[in-house]
Amino acid sequence: MGCIGRADVTFNEDACRVRTAHASQNLSLLRRIAINALNLEQSLKRSHRQKSHRAAMDNNYMLTILAACFSHHNDAFKLY
């Protein structure tokens, strides 16, 4: 499934009613960043939607996702 379909399933993107200036493009970018962060977190084998809901309810799990995302980016920068 492509990123567009994944964003629609995970975040119900088609129901978003934002139409102001570049807001829809900005929210789309944030959704893609969130999906990439959910992909990088490997401690919990669940769907993106389940991971997203758990992160919304559990601050420690949200920090786990962010830590996985930032540690991946730090590793990528060390290669250069």
CB atoms within 10 A of CB 49: 14
SS3 category, 74: helix
Q: Are 10 and 52 in contact (CB under 8 A)?
A: yes
51: CB partners within 8 A, 6+ apart? 38, 41, 44, 61, 65
pTM over 0.75: no
Compute mean pLDDT per 10 residues along the chain, 80 residues long, and list them. 56 66 82 88 89 93 90 64
pLDDT score, position 29? 86
Q: Given this model, what pLDDT does residue 79 score?
A: 53
